[in-house]
Amino acid sequence: MSSPKTPVTRATRSGPGELSTYAERLRTYSTQELEDIYYNIHILRHPIRYRLLMMEMERRQLNPSAKQDFRRPFSLIDALNKKPFFAKRQYAASVILIPAFLCVAISVTFALYTPIWLFAVPLKFRGLQTAIAYIAWAPVPPILGAGIAGRVGARGVYALCALAGAALGMFLFNLTGAPGVILDSIKQPTGGAGPGAFGF
With bands split at pLDDT 50, 70 and 90, how would you rate the model's confidence at 73? Answer: low
How crowded is the C-beta side of 3, counted as CA atoms within 13 Å?
16
pLDDT for res 15: 64
pLDDT for res 127: 87
| Helix orientation angle between 178-185 and 90-120, rounded to the nearest 10 degrees | 30
With bands split at pLDDT 50, 70 and 90, how would you rate the model's confidence at 69? Answer: very low
Please report, for the chain, the start and end positions of each structural domain, with discontinuous segments joined by +.
16-72, 84-185
pLDDT for res 74: 77
Average pLDDT over residues 180-195: 65
Average pLDDT over residues 112-122: 95
Torsion sign (Cα): 131, 121, 167, 194 = negative
pLDDT at position 11 over 70: no
**Separation between Cα atoms, residue 181 and residue 126, nearest integer Å:** 8
pLDDT at position 158 over 50: yes
**Separation between Cα atoms, residue 76 and residue 34, nearest integer Å:** 21
pTM listed for this prediction: 0.59
pLDDT for res 170: 97
pLDDT for res 194: 43
Higher pLDDT, 4 or 178: 178
